[in-house]
Amino acid sequence: MTQAELLNWLSSQDFCNAILDTPQAIGEPQSDGTQWYAVTIREVYENSAITRRIHFYIVNKETSEEIAYWKDAIPVATLQPVEPMQMYKMITFRTLIHQLDNAVATAMIEKLKAAVSQNVIIEQAYKMLETYGPDGGIDINSRNTQIMIQSLVTSNILTQAEADTVIALADTDLRTTAAE
């Protein structure tokens, strides 16, 4: 591969939006004529972009025996999709009391209290719902929390309407999305 072929290959890659300059020699040529070069590219992924230097060597530059080699590794995309950050939304019994109809909140809390002895997960969730402050509550935006609430319907602890009412406090209903 010659320098021209190397640069053509680089410019054809999906991640390479543009080659921004001509190759710049780095340091002095080695005794066998090998020279280290760098070129600046703009890498783009969706709405993100960076400029970066790509390094390569050329042996026998501008002769019929010219060969270009990537330095260290073949370039690949460095920008990657970022998973959306999960926004926590902690709820406690206080949340249920303040944001739901009083009769609905009372019925749900009484049903959960009665179910505490049936399942250790319900017991722990109940304790978290009772706890206020920075370490208190359960994360209603968590898919696992929403699935746990839905399982309380299957276990005949909550009605579907009650589960839907609590999950409506979340930013997004995640019960039917793919597993995290």
For residue range 71-122, list pLDDT tens digits in order: 999 999 998 876 666 688 999 999 999 999 999 999 999 999 999 998 898 9
Report the pLDDT value the prediction gives residue 136, as an integer from 0 to 100. Answer: 87
Please state, in angstroms and rounded to a whole number, the distance separating the CA atoms of residues 160 and 153: 6
Q: How far is CA 123 from CA 85, 113, 128, 180, in A?
A: 29, 8, 9, 24
Backbone angles phi, psi at 37, to 5 degrees: -130, 160
Please state, in angstroms and rounded to a whole number, the distance separating the CA atoms of residues 124 and 142: 16
pTM (2 d.p.) = 0.51
Give the CA-trace dihedral at 163, 165, 101, 110, to 10 degrees.
10
Per-residue pLDDT tens digits for 2-36: 999 999 999 999 999 999 999 999 999 998 889 99
pLDDT-derived band at 171 (thresholds 50, 70, 90) equals confident
Tokens of 17: 């939006």
Per the CB < 8 A criterion, the answer to whether 36 and 26 are in contact is yes
- Neighbouring C-alpha atoms within 13 Å toward the C-beta of 55: 7
Residue 149 identity: I
β-pairing, 35-45 vs 67-70, is unpaired
pLDDT-derived band at 46 (thresholds 50, 70, 90) equals confident
Report the pLDDT value the prediction gives residue 90, as an integer from 0 to 100. Answer: 92
Each domain of the chain, given as residue ranges in start order, spans 3-70, 90-167
